[in-house]
Amino acid sequence: MAYVSQTEHTESMFLANARIIAQDIQSELVYSQDDTRNWDMWYTDTVSLQDEYTKPAVSSDTVGADRIDSISVAYQSDTYTQTGLLKYVPCRKATVEEQRNWEYLLENQPKESPIYFQADKSVFIAPDPRSTEVGTNRLKITGARSIATGAWTASTTELEIKLPLQFIDVLTLGCVWKANAQARKDRSIVIDSKNEYIQEKRKAIKSLNLEVSSIM
C-alpha cells in the first residue's frame, strides 16, 4: 500500500475494506450504469398453483441477482426446432391495480401475456401454473448479478471477486483510501487517495460502457 504499513493496517482490515469498496463499485455498476457485462440468467422449476418464487440469492460461493430486468415463463413444453430450448413467454410488470386484484389474476390472467411483480426477496407471477404446465427450468430470470458473500482471503482470485477485470486496480485504490483514513493519515493524503479512487472508478465505468457500446 502506498502510505500504510502492515502494522498500521492488517490483512483482515484490508480484506474487510475490499468488500466495502467492491460493493460500492457493484452498486455503481448495477444502479447507475447500463452494465451488460454484469448481466446473467437464472432458471428455476415451476410448481403447480405456486405464484411466488425466490429471487436468485447470493451465497458464500455463488452470485445472485442484484437487479432483476426480466421474467419469462414457459407454461408449455414447446421447444425451438433447431436448439431444443424451451419457448418462454416474457412477463410484463404488473400495475398497482393488477397487484390489488392478484387473486383474481392468478386464475384469469391469459397465459399469452403473463405478468409479474417483485416484493421483498421474491418474484410473483400470474397466472400461476397448473399441474400440466410445470416443469424443470420453466421460469427464467435475467438481470445484473451480485457479488458472492463469502469471506475473501489473501488467495482470493480476480475471477472469484466477480467484478469486471478493469475494476480490480480501482478496488485496490479504494482500499488504499480506506486504509489511509483508518490510519488517520494527514487529511490531504486521505483526500488525494479518495479522489484518485473516484476518478479511476469513473474512468473504468466509462471504458466499460464504451466496450459495451462497440459490441452492440
**Residue-level pLDDT at 61:** 58
Instruction: Report whether pLDDT(29) > 60.
Output: yes
Predicted TM-score of the model (pTM)? 0.65
For 165-184, the pLDDT digits (tens) are 788 899 989 999 999 998 88
Q: Give the distance, in angstroms, between the CA of residue 170 and the centroid of all CA atoms in the same chain.
A: 19
For 61-79, the pLDDT digits (tens) are 566 787 888 999 999 999 9
Residue 22: pLDDT band with limits 50, 70, 90: confident
Q: In what order do the strands lie in the sheet with 39-44?
A: 39-44, 139-145, 65-73, 89-90
Q: What average pLDDT does range 111-130 have in this prediction?
A: 95
Better-scored residue on pLDDT, 31 or 171? 171
Residue 1: pLDDT band with limits 50, 70, 90: very low
SS (H, E, C) the chain: CCCCCCCCCCHHHHHHHHHHHHHHHHHHHHHHCCCHHHEEEEEECCCCCCCEEECCCCCCCCCCEEEEEEEEECCCCCECCCCCCECCEECEECCHHHHHCHHHHHHHCCCCCCEEEEECCEEEEECCCCHHHCCCCCEEEEEEECCCCCCCCCCCCHHHHCCCHHHHHHHHHHHHHHHHHHCCCCHHHHHHHHHHHHHHHHHHHHHHHHHHHHHC
**Residue-level pLDDT at 36:** 53
Residue 137: pLDDT band with limits 50, 70, 90: very high
**Residue-level pLDDT at 3:** 54
Instruction: Report whether pLDDT(214) > 50.
Output: no
For 180-206, the pLDDT digits (tens) are 998 888 999 999 999 999 999 988 888
Distance CA 132, CA 182 (A): 60
Supply φ then ψ for residue 128, to 5 degrees. Answer: -80, 145
Residue 11: pLDDT band with limits 50, 70, 90: confident
Spatial contact of 86 and 77, defined as CB atoms under 8 Å apart: yes
**Residue-level pLDDT at 37:** 57
Distance CA 98, CA 125 (A): 11
**Where does residue 143 fall: left (phi above 0), alpha (psi -120 to 50 degrees), or beta otherwise?**
left
